Every structure is written in C-alpha cells, then in structure tokens.
Amino acid sequence: MTIKENFELAKQAYAKWGVDVEEVVEKLKNVPISIHCWQGDDVAGFEVNQNELSGGIDVTGNYPGKATNAEELRSDLEKALSLIPGKHRVNLHAIYAETNGEVVERDQLEPKHFENWVKWAKENGLGLDYNPTLFSHPKADDGLTLSHPNEEIREFWINHCIGSRKIGEYFGRELGTPALTNIWIPDGYKDIPSDRLTPRKRLKESLDKIFAVETDERYNLDAVESKVFGIGSESYVVGSHEFYLNYAMKNDKLCLLDTGHYHPTETVSNKISSMLLFSEKLALHVSRPVRWDSDHVVILDDELKEIALEIVRNDALNRVIIGLDFFDASINRVAAWTIGTRNMIKALLYAMLVPNEYLKQLQEEGNFTERLALMEEFKTYPFGAIWDYYCEKMGVPVRESWLEEVKAYEQEVLLKR
C-alpha cells in the first residue's frame, strides 16, 4: 500500500473517536521546535581564546566531523533541518559569536557579532533564540558567576547577561519573532555548604540588576533555568528550582524547565499543568537524562510522550516554548539533531491524535477502567502512518530513509574536515 492509502486507513481509525487528522497535520506544521546549535560542535563554541568545557557539563565521544567554525555549523544545521518536517528555530549560545579573529570578551559582545547568524536565519525562514554563556571561562573556574563573592566577577557576568538580552532583542526585531533569552548558571559547591542563603541573595541581586535594563517584550522574552546538581556542584546549586520558580513568578519572567535538571524520580511532564495555572508562558529544554543530567539524544520514550500530552491536552501549544538540549559526540551529530527533533515532533503528533477531551470526560465521570483501557489501546493506533504522510507532505524523507542522506553528507562533507 502507498503512504497515502495507509494514511487514509489510519485517518478512519482516528475519525471514530472524533479526531480530525487533516486538522492535526495542519496544526502541527505551525509548532516550532528550538534546535540547539551546540550539538554540532560538542559545546565548544568559536571564541578566539577558546576555553576548556566546564561548568558541570561533559561531552563524551570523538565521532569525526564536528563543526570547527560557524559556517560549518550552519551547513550542518541546514542539512539536519532539511530532514526535519516543519519550520523551526535555532538556539545559540554566546560562544557562537563571530568576531573575525578579534578577541572580544563576553561582556563586550554586541548584535554585530551575530549578523551572519541573523542573515542566515532570514534566508532559511528561522527564528533565533539565545543564551549567555556562563561557563567555560576563567571567571567561572571556581564554579561561581552571578553569585560570586567577588563583586568585580559578578559585574562581569551581569554585564554579559545584559548584553545578551540586547542581542536577543536584536534577533527578535530583525526576524519578526521574539527570541527567548535564557539564563542558566553553573554556580554551586561540590561539598556541603555552611551558608546556603548568602550566595542566593547575591544571585537575586545580580538578576535584579540584569532585568532592570529594559528590553522590548515584543522582541525578547526572558527565562531563567534551574538545576538540581552538576559535576562540581553535587551538594548545592545556587539557582535551584525553588529559587527560580519564585523569582520568575515574582518578576514576571519565564521559568524554563530542563528535563535533566531534576531528581531522578521527578518528571517535568508532571510539573507542566501546575506551571500553566500560574504562568502565561512556560519554556522547556527537552533532553534525556540517564541516571543524571547526561543530555542524551531525545528518544520517543514514555516521558517525551507524556510531556507532549500535557502540552496538547492543556491546549498550550502556543504557551509552551519547546527547545531541545542534548549533545552526543559518540554518534554523527547531524543524525543526533535529526533523531531528537523528529522524535519531539512525533511525540506532539501522537498527543494530538489522542481523543483527549473524551479521556478527560471519563476521568471526571470516574470511569477509570475505560480511561486506562483506551489510553493503552491508543499506544498502538496507527499514528506511524500519519507521521509518514506528514513527512511526505512536508517534503522530507519518510521513515529511516533520511539516514542515507546523512551517510552521504558524512562522506562528502564531515569526513573531509
């Protein structure tokens, strides 16, 4: 049978439950995923005075072909985007600035250092998001930045974050879609602290100074991101979930939830509905933690499906900003982007094909038998046929055929670097 014929049969199966598959496919086209650039070069960046990766972040593997400059990275992103259905965004860190060989300290970065990225984004119809880089730097070597006891070091990072928000605003103004500028810091202690409060006071004061400088919310959206622990901050992290949740709520900022930044028994999917009750918007970094915040490539597992279901069933596709955050140097990096992003989109499609309103009604009626039965049955409904049709309709490879294009790109481009 053809892809179209399989699609028509699957459409009938879903129609029985009141799911308009054609409408779902059209709606999915308009859901952007913010694809992180740092998978392509193992979070190294392109600073002239490049520093060793630090801040509790680790990338393992030595698969050949990583990008060594911005042009190579953009080329690799273009290849990945050609294999992913839909129109999406690209998420940058400050370390991906282009300074034409000049040493420019991070607190001196300006929009002009990202002009090539903006030009490229315009050519490809992409939005851009942004992150100040508060790791892999001599002024972060002791694991403290915005909460540092040294005022001079704090001011350096405060100015970097202020400049970053201006760069995000520049992206939004130029591209006609607001940039999400997200602040994450590595600050914490390896061993049990004798004072948890004072560093958090300093962090709050630093953030207050950063956000005191206004940016236009039509072009820049501010987010803050927590973490439970990292390498070198196993016992205490200054920017905890409770800290940033309260800070975001009090100061009308977005709270960004990273799926790897919580205790192993916590799930981000379980937090989404609570967050949406009190916040107009919510930001996500979707990763795959394996025993810790290991940032494995996103797979179509139960938690990814549950995240998508929480977004869809709560009618929050326009309220949740979905970004990805993983990095694996042991496999082809273009393939990693393709696998992870396609899986995120698959999860959203799966969630949109579930008769969520009917399942809600069963719960309200206390009909838990039918609720469980149907939730399980829908796991094997023919959503794969809908996915194949969607990929074909969007002009990208169907099923695993994309892998042949990645293999060819590896031979023609990546292995020649």
Q: How far is residue 83's CA from residue 63's CA, in Å, rounded to a whole number?
A: 20
Asked if residue 413 and residue 293 are part of one domain, the reply reads: no
Q: Is the pLDDT of residue 392 over 80?
A: yes
Q: Is the pLDDT of residue 56 over 90?
A: no
Q: How far is CA 310 from CA 233, 352, 416, in A?
A: 31, 10, 44
Assess contact for 92 and 37: CB atoms under 8 A: yes
Q: Which of 79, 148, 204, 227 is catalytic?
A: 227
Give which of 356, 354, 360, 403 is closest to 383, Cα–Cα.
Answer: 354
Q: Which of 184, 337, 387, 402 is catalytic?
A: 184
What is the distance in angstroms between the CA of the first residue and the CA of the last residue of the chain?
A: 42
At 376, list the tokens: 């399980």
Q: Is the pLDDT of residue 293 over 90?
A: no
- Look up 325 and say whether it is catalytic: yes
- Look up 227 and say whether it is catalytic: yes
- Look up 141 and say whether it is catalytic: no
Assess contact for 22 and 117: CB atoms under 8 A: no
State which amino acid sits at residue 285: H
**Per-residue pLDDT averaged across 161-176, rounded?**
98
- Look up 241 and say whether it is catalytic: no
Q: Is the pLDDT of residue 188 over 90?
A: yes
- Position 11 scores a pLDDT of 96
Q: Which of 66, 285, 305, 346 is catalytic?
A: 285
- Look up 261 and say whether it is catalytic: yes
Q: Is the pTM of this model over 0.75?
A: yes
Domain boundary among 324, 352, 380: 352
Domain boundary among 352, 381, 409: 352
User: How many C-alpha atoms does 370 have within 13 Å on its Cβ side?
Assistant: 11
Q: Which of 303, 325, 328, 388 is catalytic?
A: 325
- Categorize the per-residue pLDDT at 60 as very low, low, confident or very high, splitting at 50, 70 and 90: confident
Q: How far is residue 90's CA from residue 129's CA, in Å, rounded to a whole number?
A: 6
Q: How far is residue 382's CA from residue 293's CA, in Å, rounded to a whole number?
A: 33
The residue that leads in pLDDT, 384 or 49, is 384
The per-residue pLDDT for range 141-152, each reduced to its tens digit, is 999 999 999 999
**Per-residue pLDDT averaged across 109-121, rounded?**
98
- Position 279 scores a pLDDT of 94
Asked if residue 323 and residue 182 are part of one domain, the reply reads: yes
Asked if residue 311 and residue 239 are part of one domain, the reply reads: yes
| Average pLDDT over the chain, rounded to an integer | 96
- Look up 113 and say whether it is catalytic: no
**Per-residue pLDDT averaged across 313-339, rounded?**
97
Write the DSSP string, 232-280. T-SSEESS-HHHHHHHHHHHT-EEEEETTSS-TT--THHHHHHHHHH-S
Domain span at residue 146 reads 32-352
**Per-residue pLDDT averaged across 81-95, rounded?**
97
Total residue length of the chain: 417
Q: Which of 72, 169, 174, 295 is catalytic?
A: 295
- 366 Cβ contact list (under 8 Å, min separation 6): none
Q: Which of 79, 137, 261, 305 is catalytic?
A: 261
- Position 59 scores a pLDDT of 84
Q: Which of 258, 303, 328, 388 is catalytic?
A: 258
- The long-range contacts involving 112-119, CB below 8 angstroms and separated by at least 24 positions, are 114/167, 114/170, 114/171, 116/70, 117/70, 117/74, 117/90, 117/92, 118/170, 118/171, 118/174, 118/175
The number of folded domains in the chain is: 2
- Look up 195 and say whether it is catalytic: no
Q: How far is residue 168's CA from residue 11's CA, in Å, rounded to a whole number?
A: 41
Q: Is the pLDDT of residue 192 over 90?
A: yes
Assess contact for 77 and 41: CB atoms under 8 A: no
DSSP-derived letter for residue 298 is P
Asked if residue 111 and residue 246 are part of one domain, the reply reads: yes
Asked if residue 334 and residue 243 are part of one domain, the reply reads: yes
**Per-residue pLDDT averaged across 187-212, rounded?**
97
**Per-residue pLDDT averaged across 381-397, rounded?**
97
Q: Is the pLDDT of residue 255 over 90?
A: yes
- Position 229 scores a pLDDT of 86
**Per-residue pLDDT averaged across 222-246, rounded?**
94
Q: How far is CA 335 from CA 284, 298, 340, 401, in A?
A: 22, 12, 8, 12
Assess contact for 81 and 88: CB atoms under 8 A: yes
Asked if residue 146 and residue 285 are part of one domain, the reply reads: yes
Domain boundary among 352, 375, 405: 352
Asked if residue 16 and residue 137 are part of one domain, the reply reads: no
Asked if residue 312 and residue 197 are part of one domain, the reply reads: yes
Asked if residue 120 and residue 2 are part of one domain, the reply reads: no
- Burial degree of 32 (CB within 10 A; 0-12, 13-18, 19+): middle
Q: Which of 169, 293, 328, 388 is catalytic?
A: 293
- Position 51 scores a pLDDT of 77
CATH number for the domain including 121? 3.20.20.150
Q: Is the pLDDT of residue 1 over 90?
A: no
- Position 395 scores a pLDDT of 97
Distance of CA 103 to the CA centre of its chain: 29
- The long-range contacts involving 195-199, CB below 8 angstroms and separated by at least 24 positions, are 196/236, 199/144, 199/147, 199/238
Q: 167-180 in b/e burial notation, b at 16+ Cβ within 10 A? A: bbbbbbbbbebbbb
Q: How far is residue 173's CA from residue 164's CA, in Å, rounded to a whole number?
A: 14
Distance of CA 14 to the CA centre of its chain: 30
- Look up 76 and say whether it is catalytic: no
Q: How far is residue 228's CA from residue 258's CA, in Å, rounded to a whole number?
A: 10
Q: Is the pLDDT of residue 49 over 90?
A: no
Asked if residue 340 and residue 364 are part of one domain, the reply reads: no
Asked if residue 367 and residue 334 are part of one domain, the reply reads: no
Q: How far is residue 227's CA from residue 141's CA, in Å, rounded to a whole number?
A: 18
Assess contact for 179 and 172: CB atoms under 8 A: yes
- Look up 295 and say whether it is catalytic: yes
CB atoms under 10 Å from CB of 361, counted, come to: 12
Q: How far is residue 120's CA from residue 37's CA, in Å, rounded to a whole number?
A: 13
- Categorize the per-residue pLDDT at 61 as very low, low, confident or very high, splitting at 50, 70 and 90: confident
Q: Is the pLDDT of residue 208 over 80?
A: yes
Asked if residue 359 and residue 264 are part of one domain, the reply reads: no
